[in-house]
């Protein structure tokens, strides 16, 4: 894209300059956790029956919102329940318009054990959620977002720096949630935007054996630290990839587009993957159809499942220890 020095272009440059000045002042970024630091533990009320390996499901609600069910856990990610025509605030006076409806409304959610929140942006934790969500529900997120949640009155906050882990227990079942590297924009400019984390979810229906490993990218671009993920987790069963090619002011790319998504697949090398976070807002400039073309070009079709709003993907745990 060539620079636009028209009046509109000058307005864009002015906003970008304001963002830069604010970002330099705040200097927010996701830090790495300290090696050997204390591990957080969350114990949930267990059902009467013992958890056993079962078929798991990932249900796509829309945007980056999914419901994950496995081993007795029900997990909600990045809750966004606004409807077509509604607007969210992205900071710096910027907004985004929703182009679709969620598969269900907020008040139709099943009982949720916890929320995994990749970062604090209006299309991931909207104003409706901020107003109506139960203040006692556990939320796993970045340190920055945890502070904002505290200001909103949310009580059960579990902040994770990169590579830090929360151990969740529910009867015989356990779940490890580890914060993965993420950067919500290009070099330097990512400091203008919220801290973001990917997440690795490791499910164990009983004992310490990992039955299923799921990676959620969060709103990241592909950058050097992403290569550390497969070094630490070489056997990922399923990846949920935040796509959309989001562009701030139509210029600055802050989430993966079609080519980035394929590159991420090639780096992370999951057994299977599901694209999410596409086509739902007017700032998403890379449609799902572009990703589908890139996947075919890379001959990765057999490893991808495409879900429409309300559709579910079923998975089975693998036999054998990790």
Task: State the distance between the two ends of the chain, measured CA to CA, in whole angstroms.
Answer: 46
Residues of the chain short of pLDDT 50, as ranges, are 1-27, 35-36
Angle formed at CA 257 by CA 86 and CA 308, multiple of 5 degrees: 55
- Mean pLDDT estimate for the chain: 88
Q: What are phi and psi of 290, to 5 degrees?
A: -65, -40
Of 310, 306, 290, 307, which Cα lies nearest the Cα of 298? 290
DSSP state of 58: E
Q: What is the pLDDT of residue 89?
A: 86
Tell me the pLDDT tens digit for each residue of 13-23: 444 444 443 44
Q: What is the pLDDT of residue 66?
A: 98
Q: What is the pLDDT of residue 265?
A: 98
Q: What is the pLDDT of residue 39?
A: 82
C-alpha 309/C-alpha 100 separation (Å) is 9
- Give the HSE-up count for residue 87: Cα atoms under 13 Å, Cβ half-sphere: 7
Query: Cβ distance 251 to 285 under 8 Å?
Result: no
C-alpha 238/C-alpha 310 separation (Å) is 19
Is the four-CA dihedral 230, 232, 237, 240 of positive or negative sign? negative
Query: Cβ distance 124 to 90 under 8 Å?
Result: no
Query: Cβ distance 85 to 64 under 8 Å?
Result: no
Q: What is the pLDDT of residue 2?
A: 40
Helix 288-297 and helix 258-268, axial crossing angle in degrees, nearest 10: 50
Angle formed at CA 67 by CA 241 and CA 211, multiple of 5 degrees: 75
- List, in order of start, the domains of the chain with CATH numbers: 41-315 (3.60.15.10)
Q: What is the pLDDT of residue 37?
A: 52
Q: What is the pLDDT of residue 41?
A: 96
Q: Which pTM was predicted?
A: 0.89
Q: What are phi and psi of 267, to 5 degrees?
A: -80, -50
The secondary structure of the chain in percent helix, strand, coil, rounded to multiples of 5, reads 25, 30, 50
């Amino acid at each position: 894209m060539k620079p636009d020095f028209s009046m509109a272009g000058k307005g864009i440059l002015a906003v970008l300059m304001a963002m830069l000045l604010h970002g330099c002042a705040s200097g927010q970024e996701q830090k790495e956790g300290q090696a050997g630091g204390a591990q957080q533990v969350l114990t949930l009320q267990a059902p009467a029956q013992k958890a056993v390996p079962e078929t798991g499901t990932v249900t796509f609600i829309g945007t980056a919102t999914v419901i994950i069910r496995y081993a007795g856990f029900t997990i909600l990610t990045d809750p966004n329940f606004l409807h077509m025509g509604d607007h969210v605030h992205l900071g710096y006076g910027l907004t985004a318009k929703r182009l679709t409806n969620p598969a269900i409304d907020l008040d139709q959610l099943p009982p949720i054990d916890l929320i995994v929140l990749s970062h604090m942006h209006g299309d991931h934790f909207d104003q409706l959620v901020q107003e109506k969500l139960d203040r006692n529900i556990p939320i796993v997120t970045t340190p920055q977002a945890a502070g904002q949640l505290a200001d909103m009155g949310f009580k059960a906050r579990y902040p994770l720096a990169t590579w830090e882990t929360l151990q969740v227990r529910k009867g015989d079942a356990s779940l490890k949630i580890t914060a993965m590297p993420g950067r919500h924009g290009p070099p330097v400019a990512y400091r203008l935007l919220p801290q973001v984390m990917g997440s690795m979810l490791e499910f164990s229906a009983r004992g310490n054996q990992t039955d299923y490993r799921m990676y959620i990218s969060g709103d990241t671009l592909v950058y050097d630290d992403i290569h550390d993920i497969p070094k630490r987790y070489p056997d990922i069963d399923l990846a949920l990839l935040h796509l959309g090619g989001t562009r701030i002011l139509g210029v600055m790319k802050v989430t993966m587009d079609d080519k980035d998504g394929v590159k991420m697949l090639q780096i992370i090398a999951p057994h299977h993957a599901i694209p999410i976070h596409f086509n739902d807002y007017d700032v998403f400039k890379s449609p799902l159809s572009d990703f589908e073309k890139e996947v075919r070009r890379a001959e990765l079709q057999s490893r991808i499942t495409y879900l429409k709003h309300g559709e579910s993907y079923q998975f089975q745990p693998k036999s054998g220890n990790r």
